[in-house]
Structure formats: C-alpha cells, structure tokens
Structure 1
Amino acid sequence: MRDNLGVRDVIAIANAIAETASNPVAGTSGLSRLRSKLRKLNAPKTIIDATFNPDMTCLSNKIQKERRDQYESEGINYPDHFSLESVKERLDLYDISNIPDKQALADIMIMLCIRPAEIKNLRISNGGVTGYSKNWGQQDIPRVFRSLEKNEKRAKQLLIWIQNAISSGQLRDPGKRRSIYLSSFLKKDKFIPKPDKPLLPSYLRKLGAVYAVVSNSVKNLSEAMTIASQALRHSPDNHAFPAQNYTIINFRKRGQPYDQATAFELFDEN
C-alpha cells in the first residue's frame, strides 16, 4: 500500500477527518471516501475496518432520518422552469454543434437521472447504460436504457455533448468534491420554487425518474415502480425494500399551483 501506512496511521487520518468535519453526516461521508481510496490501494480489511466510527455513524443516521421525516411531510418542489414540459422542450431544441451551458448540463442530468459523480463516465450502448455509481464490489453490468428522451441515439448524443464539454474545460465537472458549480446555478432567484427551498444537484436525478414515469403514461403502480427503478439504474437482483432511502417529489404540470401537486414517493437503493 502507498507509503506503507499502518493501522495507527490510518486511524489518525480517520480521526482527523471526523474531528474537522462540519457535522456527522459530512464526517461519515469523508470516512466513506477514505475507505474507497484504501480499497483502491488494496489495503487489508483490518486497516479499512479501522476507519469506522460507530458513534459518528449513529449520529449521522439520526440526522438523516430527521431529514427524511421532513421530506416525507414536505417533499421536493420545483419551479416551472424545471417542469417536465420545460425540460423536454429544451432537450428537443438543443443543437449539439453549439457549446452547452449549465442549463443544458442540468437538463441532461434530469433526462438520464444522473448523479453528479456519474456525469463523466456514464455510457449508453445497445439499449444499456454503464458507468453508473455502484456499491463496492458490484460489477458494471449494463442497466436498461430508460430516459425522458426515449430516442437512444439522441440521448447518447446529448450525453456525449456534455461529456466532451467537461473534458475540454467548457463546462466544469459537477462531480468534483465540494463543487458548487451546479448548485450555485440552481440557487438563482428565478429557479427557486415557491416554498423558497432551492433545488439541489442531487434532486435532478429524482425529478428525472418521475418524469420518466409520467412520460411513459404508466397504467398502474407496478409499472410505475419498474420504470422508476430502471431510470434510476437499480439492480434487478435487489429485492429489498429500501424504505430508508426515499424522496417525495411534488409533481405538477407547468403553471399548475403548488398546492395541486401530486406526491410521488421514490425509493433509491444507493
């Protein structure tokens, strides 16, 4: 392993991350990234396990549960600018011979339910999607292509358009650690919905899943769950009910009052 770090060294690094974190959620996230790096360096399991902080994990889980309880009662709202109709209109009009902007980046993340960290590596080919974020040790098995843009060729062109712009420096990578590139864009006054809570980059993926369901004119709940799961690229072998990872999207058409929105409850395995 790099620099021959021992258990004591790694524990010292883990303690520094925990002590300097702004809150337990940020601390557990930092420790998770540390374990990921250690795995890439082929560190022994004993060293990786030494980075776990049970107390911080417990506090983090408590805070996240409180946040989930809040989401359950309130849900995520969005302005007309990011309604299904508005996003689809822009997607249809994008000219890939032009340089994309932050708006195009956000729309295409919605279109393909992309996490910020996935934007550079996602690939579409032969009805499948690879390069998505996975749990540790999970294989990069192609997931079913399911998108707001149903034409696979067009969706692939739009994705590559954004990826090329990031590679060339015309757009910044929203997946970089502590990046505020996309979040600052979403906080513009004209994008803040009525409840005065701005969209977060992580919400775009959730919006995309709901829009995929609505645009496919599903006939029942089972079909809706299948399409949402495909759009979010869940593993078809995961039959668990991940109730601890849900989000509510208050879906409404463009121009429809916020108090007339329909609540969509999404479950995410990751």
Structure 2
Amino acid sequence: MGVSLGAGVALAHFGGERDGGDTASAPVAGAPAAPEPATAAPTPSRKATPGPKPTVKPKPKPKPKPKPKPRPTATKKKAATVPQSGPGTFTTASASGRVTGTSGPLRRYRVQIEDGVELSARGTAEEIEAILAHPRGWAAHGRGRFQLVRSDADFVIRIATPDTADELCARQGLDTHGELNCETTDGVVVNLKRWMLGSPTFAGPPEEYRHLIINHEVGHEIGIRQHMDCGGPGKLAPAMMQQIKGLNGCRSNAFPYDEDGVYITGPIVS
C-alpha cells in the first residue's frame, strides 16, 4: 500500500514541473476545441476602368525665322576723270536728229568731242539734242529751230579739255583761265571740266548745269550777244547771266524760261 501511494505522489510532482515551463501545453483529450476566429472574406479588388485618353495636341513647330536679306552694298560712283589737256583733235558724233521747234530760223549743228576723253560722241550729241528740245528752252518758245546733223552744219558744239578750250577761245581774244566756256566764229567751245563737274555756284547736279551751258552759248548763237545780271534778290538767274562768276542774290537756274513760259531776264551788263 505505501509503495503505490509514493509512486502517485512522484508522478503528480513530475507533471507540475512540466506545466510551469515556457512551452505551450497540448490540449486535454475530450475537451471541446476552441472555436477558430472568424476571418473576413477578402473583398475582391476593383480594377479602375481607364477613361478615354485626353487628346494631346502636338506643339506647333516654331516657324523658321526668315534669313535676313543681305543689304545691298552701296557702290561708290566713280569720280569723273577730267584730263587737263588733250591732243587737240576731235571726233564728230555720227548721229542726226529731227528738227526741234516750230518757228524761227533753222540752225543745224554738229557735236564734236576731243579725242582721248571719257565721253561718247554719239551719247553726248543725243544729250544736247534733248537739252535743246526741253519745254523751257529756246525752241519751245519760238526762238529758233534746231537740228542735229553729221555735216553741213551752221555751227559746231565742241567739248574740249581745259587747255584745248583755252587755246580755241584765245584765238577769239578770250581768256577762259582753264575754267570757262566761250563762243567762237564757228560755234561753241565747252570746257570739259564744266561739263563733267558743273559749277561751284550752281545748286543742281552737273547734268542740270549742262542745260545752262548749252542754253547760254546757243543763246549767243541765235543773236543774244550781251550778258545779263540778276533781276532781283531771290529771283531766278537769267540763262544769259554768267552764273559761274556769282549769282548776286539770284537763285541758280538753267533755263531761259520759267515753268509758266515767262522769259527770265535782268539788267544788261556786257
């Protein structure tokens, strides 16, 4: 009896040692199982339905900047070459024209250019023909008719270097100082310097001053022998005034008549 009791006590003591350990104990047989915790069913994930993609307008390509146009390079006008002297021989323009003017005596003229200068004889003759046909000139107002010819002329218009012009004018007793034009027994001598460069006292370009040269010298040819002076301060200078020697208060002018057809005159001086 005593031995069986001791054995049970020993078993009981041994089981208590196991319950006090750190390891979880196994369930007792026949005891109801603890209910498992309810687990919420997983909610199915909703996939977002993609909406229509926004239309993205392509950025406009920048327009290419126009290339700057190259600026034209200003070309300097070649300065006129005026030789001081020449050979003293002349080329006659091989040109002829129609009669300019409707009344007055017919005066036929030819044009000669000294050899070796940079002037076209034909081109210069045509320019002189246009000067004599100008609406403010002699022919337009009944002071004579003019015709460019190659030969059988009533007078000649010569354009000569300053030295040659001085020589031709000196034969008539005139001193032109390498600067002036003159009238001779057979026609007109035009100083090349004046034809190409104009006059320091004339307000217009050389092309306009050529009108004054021809109108003044041809004025002598049609019988206006004397020179005129300024008709009053601020007035147009007469074509028969030696304007290169000074304007005396007048305005430079290349034509015998004004725009209203009035003859421009002034006091007689020589």
- Higher RCO structure (Cα 8 Å, ≥6 apart): 1
> If you compute each CA radius of gyration, which structure gives the higher value, 1 or 2?
2
Q: Same fold (TM over 0.5)?
A: no
Give TM-score scaled by structure 1 length: 0.22
Q: Identify the structure with the greater helix proportion.
A: 1
